[in-house]
Amino acid sequence: MSQREDLLAGARTCLVEKGYGRTTARDIAAASGAHLASIGYHFGSKDNLMNTAVLEAVSEWGDAIEAAVSASRAEDPPNRLRVLLHSLFRQLPEQRGLLVASVQAYAQAQFDEGIRDDLARGIREGRRELAALLLNVEPDRVDPAAVAGLGSMAYNFVTGYVLQYLVDPEALPTVDQAIEGLRVLIPAARE
């Protein structure tokens, strides 16, 4: 394993254990087994390494959630939403590290245009993919309005759920409670 990869892994570890702001270059060196000066050689600066690490984590979390849902065989959006929430629910504990790192990314994105742009692109992709998954069509065939509506709402769910889990996991609602809560918000009779 190259030092470059070691450094990325170490930076991720520090990100989860100490956060973006409190991680020092020496912390990363210690966590990765690599040497302090290698950060500069491979990434130019410590900040650049940290930014690469947070974005990597966000991307992996996106892949994880996508993989978990795309296996669903449910047919209509409501049932697909149920599958999404269940797989989200199941993944929260085991992906906790990625989630913590992702929150760091969102916080840092407010002050770093590079992170923000990357994150924005990821959100747009994520929305499109979520909409496609829920509607059970190909991502490139989703109606733009569905991306903005359905996709956005699904994305909001996921991020809100994650934040709630990270801060107060004991009060997290069950999937059934969540869906029942949604029902109240929508006029029961459509036409």
Query: Would you tell me which residues interact with a copy of itself (CB under 8 A)?
Result: 18-22, 76-78, 81, 100, 103-104, 106-111, 116, 119-120, 123-124, 127, 134-135, 145-146, 148-161, 163-164, 166-168, 171-174, 177-191
Q: Should residue 84 be labelled a site residue for DNA when binding is judged by CB under 7 A?
A: no
Interface residue with DNA, options 17, 35, 160, 174 (CB under 7 A): 35
Shortest approach of a copy of itself to residue 93 CB, angstroms?
Answer: 15
Q: Which residues contact 155 (CB under 8 A, 6 or more apart)?
A: 123, 126, 127, 130
Interface residue with DNA, options 8, 25, 54, 84 (CB under 7 A): 25
Shortest approach of a copy of itself to residue 143 CB, angstroms?
Answer: 11
Say if residues 61 and 99 touch (Cβ distance below 8 Å): yes
Say if residues 42 and 28 touch (Cβ distance below 8 Å): no
Say if residues 10 and 31 touch (Cβ distance below 8 Å): yes
Q: Closer to a copy of itself at the Cβ: 3 or 74?
A: 74
Separation CA 28–CA 43 (nearest Å): 13
Tokens 């947070």 -> residue? 54
Q: Should residue 27 be labelled a site residue for DNA when binding is judged by CB under 7 A?
A: yes
Q: Should residue 39 be labelled a site residue for DNA when binding is judged by CB under 7 A?
A: yes
Say if residues 84 and 154 touch (Cβ distance below 8 Å): yes
